[in-house]
Amino acid sequence: MRFEGDEDRWAVLREVEQRVLWLATAMIDHANRVRPNPDGLKVGGHQASSASMATIMTALWFDHLTANDRVSVKPHASPVLHAINYLLGSLDERYLTTLRSFGGLQSYPSRSKDPDPVDYSTGSVGIGATAPIWGALARRYVNACGASTGAGRQYSLVGDAELDEGACWEAILDPMVGELGEVCWIVDLNRQSLDRVVPHVAATRLQAMFEAAGWQVLTAKYGRLLSAIFERPGGDALRRRVDDMSNAEFQRLLRCSPEQLRLRLPGDGADAPALRELVDGLDDSTLVAALRNLGGHDLRTLGDTLAAIDDNRPTVIFAYTVKGYGLATEGHPQNHSSLLNEAQLRELGARVGMSVEAPWARFAPHSAAGRLCAEVTARLHRAPLTAEPAPEVPVDLGRTPSGTSSTQAGLGRALLDLTRQAPAVARRVVTAAPDVASSTNLGGWINKVGVWSTDNRRNWFDDDPETILHWRERPTGQHIELGIAEGNLVGLLGELGATWSRWGQPLLPIGVVYDPFVERALEPWSFGMYAGGQSILVGTPAGVTLAAEGGAHQSIKTPSIGLEQPGCVSYEPAFTVDLEWTLLAALARLGRPGGSSAYLRLSSRPVDQGLAD
Ligand SMILES: Cc1ncc(C[n+]2csc(CCOP(=O)(O)OP(=O)(O)O)c2C)c(N)n1
C-alpha of residue 194 to centroid of ligand 1, in Å: 6
C-alpha of residue 90 to centroid of ligand 1, in Å: 27
State which H helix or E strand residue 483 sits in.
none
C-alpha of residue 121 to centroid of ligand 1, in Å: 15
Minimum CA distance residue for ligand 1 atom 9:
194
Longest dimension (CA), the chain: 93
Alpha helix ranges (H) inside 484-594: 486-496, 499-503, 518-530, 559-564, 576-587
C-alpha of residue 326 to centroid of ligand 1, in Å: 21
How far, in Å, CA of 41 to CA of 48, rounded? Answer: 21
Q: For the chain of 613 residues, list the mean pLDDT of each consecutive stretch of 10.
A: 71 98 98 95 96 98 98 98 98 98 97 97 96 98 92 96 96 94 98 89 89 98 97 98 95 97 96 97 98 98 97 98 98 96 98 97 97 98 93 93 94 97 97 95 97 93 92 96 97 98 97 96 95 97 90 90 93 97 98 97 96 89
Task: Give the pLDDT confidence of 46-72 residue by residue, as tens digits.
Answer: 999 999 999 999 999 999 999 999 999
How far, in Å, CA of 284 to CA of 262, rounded? Answer: 9
Ligand 1 pocket, CB under 6 A: 49, 52, 74-76, 124-126, 159-162, 188, 190, 192-194, 323
CB-based contacts of 593, cutoff 8 Å, min separation 6: 501
How far, in Å, CA of 368 to CA of 543, rounded? Answer: 65
CA angle, 128 then 133 then 135, to 5°: 85
Q: What is the pLDDT of residue 128?
A: 96
How far, in Å, CA of 353 to CA of 359, rounded? Answer: 10
Neighbours of 329 (CB within 10 A): 20
Minimum CA distance residue for ligand 1 atom 23:
194
Out of 52, 121, 193, give the residue to mutate to test ligand 1, the one with the largest number of ligand atoms within 8 Å of its CB.
193
How far, in Å, CA of 572 to CA of 603, rounded? Answer: 9
CB-based contacts of 527, cutoff 8 Å, min separation 6: 121, 123, 124, 127, 128, 494
Q: What are the φ/ψ torsions at residue 389 (nearest 5 degrees)?
A: -70, 150
CA distances from 256 to 240, 251, 340 (A): 20, 9, 18
Ramachandran region of residue 524, left (φ > 0), alpha (ψ -120 to 50) or beta?
A: alpha
The answer to whether the CB of 605 falls within 8 A of the CB of 562 is: no
Which numeric CATH code is attached to 404-612? Answer: 3.40.50.970
CA angle, 330 then 336 then 341, to 5°: 65
How far, in Å, CA of 12 to CA of 350, rounded? Answer: 18
Rg over alpha carbons for the chain, rounded to the nearest Å, is 27
How far, in Å, CA of 169 to CA of 126, rounded? Answer: 9
Count of residues for the chain? Answer: 613
Minimum CA distance residue for ligand 1 atom 19:
193
Task: Give the pLDDT confidence of 518-561 residue by residue, as tens digits.
Answer: 999 999 999 999 999 999 999 999 998 888 889 889 998 899 99
How far, in Å, CA of 574 to CA of 582, rounded? Answer: 11
To the nearest 5 percent, what fractions of the chain are helix, strand and coil?
45, 10, 45
Ranges of beta strands (E only) in 190-314 are 216-220
Out of 164, 189, 194, 523, give the residue to mutate to test ligand 1, the one with the largest number of ligand atoms within 8 Å of its CB.
194
Burial class (CB in 10 A: 0-12, 13-18, 19+), 248: middle
Nearest to 192 by CA among 172, 222, 164, 155: 164
C-alpha of residue 123 to centroid of ligand 1, in Å: 8
The distance of Cα 556 from the centroid of its chain, to the nearest Å, equals 33
| Beta-bridge partner residues of 405 | 607
Task: Give the pLDDT confidence of 157-169 residue by residue, as tens digits.
Answer: 999 999 999 999 9
Q: What is the pLDDT of residue 547?
A: 85
Minimum CA distance residue for ligand 1 atom 10:
194
Beta-sheet pairing, 315-320 with 70-73: unpaired
C-alpha of residue 161 to centroid of ligand 1, in Å: 7
CATH topology of domain 6-223+294-379: Rossmann fold (3.40.50)
Q: What is the pLDDT of residue 313?
A: 97
How far, in Å, CA of 292 to CA of 55, rounded? Answer: 13
Out of 55, 72, 76, 170, give the residue to mutate to test ligand 1, the one with the largest number of ligand atoms within 8 Å of its CB.
76
State which H helix or E strand residue 226 sits in.
helix 224-230
Q: What is the pLDDT of residue 370?
A: 97
Q: What is the pLDDT of residue 454?
A: 87
Minimum CA distance residue for ligand 1 atom 4:
125
Nearest to 133 by CA among 282, 302, 315, 396: 315
Minimum CA distance residue for ligand 1 atom 6:
125
Buried b (16+ CB within 10 A) or exposed e, 573-583: bebbbbbbbbb
In the chain, CATH 3.40.50.970 sits at 6-223+294-379, 404-612
Minimum CA distance residue for ligand 1 atom 22:
194
C-alpha of residue 429 to centroid of ligand 1, in Å: 36
C-alpha of residue 72 to centroid of ligand 1, in Å: 15
CA distances from 443 to 341, 429, 461, 488, 580 (A): 63, 15, 15, 21, 18
State which H helix or E strand residue 187 sits in.
strand 183-189
